[in-house]
Amino acid sequence: MNIRLITLFIILSLAACVQAPVFKAGNYASIQSNYPIVKVNGVDVEPVYSLDIDAGENSLVIIYNTYQYDYHCSFTWEAMAATAYEVTDQENREPLTLYRWVRKNGLWAIRMDPVHPLRCVRDAR
């Protein structure tokens, strides 16, 4: 009985892992990054990992840190309203990639429509 309850608890917990994104009211999208966002539409900002952004064209600079260099990666893309985006390192040609994040179900999300950085500028640390 206890094992069944524990199993049920684990299944329910796992099935609730992927939450539907919540968007700011209005014409907004959201972005999450595994690495610090330091510039938004040309304006320097304190490093942040998540943002609400206006739908439409956006540009971000995100820093991928390594022990030898910092890579300042610039993204420009057309954000759709009520859409979640995510930036992560995915062993692609450039250190970071921007994806459209789509909740598939409670267990997993899918990463769609990769956008590669326009450039990644390398600075020695």
Partner 1 sequence: MLYGSMLSVHAASPVDGVSSVTDRDIRESAIAFVNTSTTPGLEGATISLDKADRQSEQWRASLGFAAEFTLRDHIYNGFWGLAAIGGSLSDKIDLIGDAGQPVHLDITRNVVALRGSLGLSFPINEYFKLRPYLSLIVSDMRSNTIVDGLIIPVPASNTTTSVTFDTSAQMLSTVGTIDALYSRWYGDNRLELVAEYNLIYTDSFSSDNPILSTIAWNHTVQAKSRYSGPTDLTTEGRPWRWNGYVNYTSYISNDTISLGYKNFFDVGGGLDWEINIKPLDWFGWQALGIRAGVIIGQDVDGFNVGLTAR
Q: Which is nearest to 29 in space by CA: 9, 58, 4, 49?
A: 58
Residues in region 3-22 near partner 1 by CB under 8 A: 14, 17-19
Applying CB under 8 A, which part among 2-10, 38-46, 54-62, 109-117 lies near partner 1?
109-117
* DSSP code, position 81: T
Does residue number 68 form part of the binding site for partner 1 (CB under 8 A)?
A: yes
CA terminus-to-terminus distance, the chain: 57
Instruction: Find the shortest distance in angstroms from Cβ 72 to partner 1.
Output: 12
- 85 forms part of the interface with partner 1 (CB under 8 A): no
Among 66, 76, 78, 119, binds partner 1 (CB under 8 A): 66
Among 75, 77, 85, 101, binds partner 1 (CB under 8 A): 101
Nearest alpha-carbon partner for 101 in 114, 92, 110:
110
| Cα four-point dihedral sign 89, 93, 97, 100 | negative
Give the whole-angstrom CA distance, residue 42 versus residue 18: 32
| 9, 24, 26, 34: which one binds partner 1 (CB under 8 A) | 34
The answer for 43, left when phi > 0, alpha when psi is -120 to 50, beta otherwise, is beta
Q: Give yes or no for residue 62 binding partner 1 (CB under 8 A).
A: no
**Which residues contact partner 1 (rule: CB under 8 A)?**
14, 17-19, 34-35, 49, 64-69, 71, 86, 88-93, 95, 99, 101, 104, 107-112, 120, 122
